[in-house]
Amino acid sequence: MSQTAETMQAIVCHGPEDYRHERIARPTAGPGEVILKIGACGICASDVKCRGGAAMFWGSASQPSWVKAPVVAGHEFFGEVVELGTGAAERTGLTIGDRAIAEQIVPCGECLYCDSGHYWMCEVHNIFGFQREAADGGMAEYMRIPAKGRLHQIPEALSRAEAAFIEPLACGIHAVNRGDIQLDDTVVIAGAGPIGLAMVQVAHLKTPKKLIVIDMIDERLELAERFGADVTLNPSRDDVGARVRELTGGYGCDVYIEATGSPTGVRQGLDIIRKLGRFVEFSVFGKETSVDWSIIGDRKELDIRGAHLSPRTFPVAIDLMQRGLVSTDGIVTHEIPMADYEQGFRMATAAESIKVLLIP
């Protein structure tokens, strides 16, 4: 990548608990590449866990580090096209001044998964904000999108908050799709964080028979009700298992989508899901989770499905927001100057906030 003498501000990850506000070289576009002037970058729960040193990011005795530091953090970004490398306009259909967003993954295009169309499971698996092999992330003033990046144009009608929420919404859509929700299903979504609340809205559009949302924070449950939840439960005072069985004739829910990132959410789901139910695991965990696997096979014969990233759902997310079918009202709670990233990361874990955006 060629560089100019110009510099820009960025939040650079050097290691666990070692994120720094620095001035680094501003990128320029090579062949097929696009430079975005960043409008905002959200702080994801995975960013918080990575910064905190979670083993799944930094490795352990049994696995190498997934993060390739130093790297500019951030994958929930959008921006304005300010530079197009040779051939980039033809490849992307973008022009200078367009607002655009890139999917989190930069697929290699050559492995078994890319070759079979499953690009989001790319074996190389470069993700913005975690490995510099892809390109640095979006917590910066400018960002380079490589020639293999998957870009999408953002309509001018979408607000800054909506544009910044496309990536979390796209992830939520994929998780809900993995649940294969039917009209007569009782669906439980555990975790009403930013992506959980996106899932609530998308699941509501699927019109299940009953939509139940579980979270420990009442304000988030109130938002879930506004977004279409029929029943909300707070485990700090509600007997979740008893209530779900009461609402389902004693059988349990048909679909359980785990979006808490807590081992408790997994065990809870295995308890309240019915036999032959569909369990969708979305969360990124900060530590290992142990369960009685006999529940999955011998006792319930469950269909366990993972949900990773957002394959082919960015256009769907943009369309849903453009049509007013999904809202960010109440979800994007704070917009923080990028230089105040320390405050932003603290807010991202505070009960009074949901989605925190860093603004260059």
Residue 116 sits in a domain of what CATH number?
3.90.180.10
157 and 65 within one domain: yes
Q: What is the CATH number of the domain that holds 211?
A: 3.40.50.720
- Reply yes or no: is the peptide bond before residue 70 cis, omega within 30 of 0: yes
If phi > 0 it is left, if psi is from -120 to 50 it is alpha, else beta; for residue 338 that is alpha
Instruction: Note down the domain range covering 142.
Output: 3-164+311-359
Residue that finishes a domain, picked among 268, 285, 306: 306
| Predicted local distance difference test score (pLDDT) of residue 210 | 98
256 and 295 within one domain: yes
- What separation in angstroms does the CA of 158 have from each of 80, 211, 232, 323? 13, 28, 30, 10
Helix (H) or strand (E) holding 99: strand 99-102
Q: With contact defined as beta carbons under 8 Å apart, do 208 and 181 qualify?
A: yes
Q: With contact defined as beta carbons under 8 Å apart, do 70 and 14 qualify?
A: yes
Count the neighbouring beta carbons within 10 Å of the beta carbon of residue 36: 27
> What pairing do the DSSP bridges indicate for beta strands 142-145 and 34-42?
antiparallel
Quote the Cα angle for 113-203-137, to 5°.
Answer: 50
Reported residue count of the chain is 360
Complete DSSP assignment for 149-177: --EEEE-TTS-HHHHHTHHHHHHHHHHHH
228 and 250 within one domain: yes
Q: How far apart are CA 91 and CA 41, in angstroms?
A: 25
The beta-strand segments (E) located in 307-354 are 332-337
In one-letter notation, the amino acid at residue 257 is I
144 and 23 within one domain: yes
Residue carrying the six token digits 């697929």:
107
From first CA to last CA, the distance across the chain in angstroms is 22
217 and 135 within one domain: no
99 and 74 within one domain: yes
246 and 231 within one domain: yes
pLDDT by 10s per residue, the chain, length 360: 334 459 999 999 999 999 999 999 999 999 999 999 999 999 999 999 999 999 889 988 788 898 999 999 999 999 999 999 999 999 999 999 999 999 999 999 999 999 999 999 999 999 999 998 778 999 999 999 999 999 999 999 999 999 999 999 999 999 999 999 999 999 999 999 999 999 999 999 999 999 999 999 999 999 999 999 999 999 999 999 999 999 999 999 999 999 999 999 999 999 999 999 999 999 988 788 899 999 999 999 999 999 999 999 999 999 999 999 999 999 999 999 999 999 999 999 999 999 999 999
Q: How far apart are CA 216 and CA 238, in angstroms?
A: 10
Residue carrying the six token digits 């969360």:
283
| Predicted local distance difference test score (pLDDT) of residue 5 | 58
292 and 200 within one domain: yes
| Predicted local distance difference test score (pLDDT) of residue 133 | 78
52 and 120 within one domain: yes
| Predicted local distance difference test score (pLDDT) of residue 244 | 98
Residue that finishes a domain, picked among 263, 279, 306: 306
Angle between helical axes of 314-322 and 166-178 (0-180°, round to 10): 110
Residue carrying the six token digits 């500019």:
72
Helix (H) or strand (E) holding 238: none
The candidate with the shortest Cα–Cα distance to 163, out of 277, 2, 13, 36, is: 36
7 and 147 within one domain: yes
82 and 32 within one domain: yes
| Predicted local distance difference test score (pLDDT) of residue 1 | 38
In one-letter notation, the amino acid at residue 303 is D
- Is pTM beyond 0.85 here? yes
Under DSSP, is residue 250 helix (H, G, I), strand (E, B) or coil? coil
Hey, which residues does 24 pair with through a beta bridge? 8
**Sign of the dihedral defined by the CA atoms of residues 331, 337, 343, 346, in that order:** positive
Q: How far apart are CA 299 and CA 295, in angstroms?
A: 5
38 and 184 within one domain: no
| Predicted local distance difference test score (pLDDT) of residue 118 | 98
Structurally, the chain folds into a number of domains equal to 2
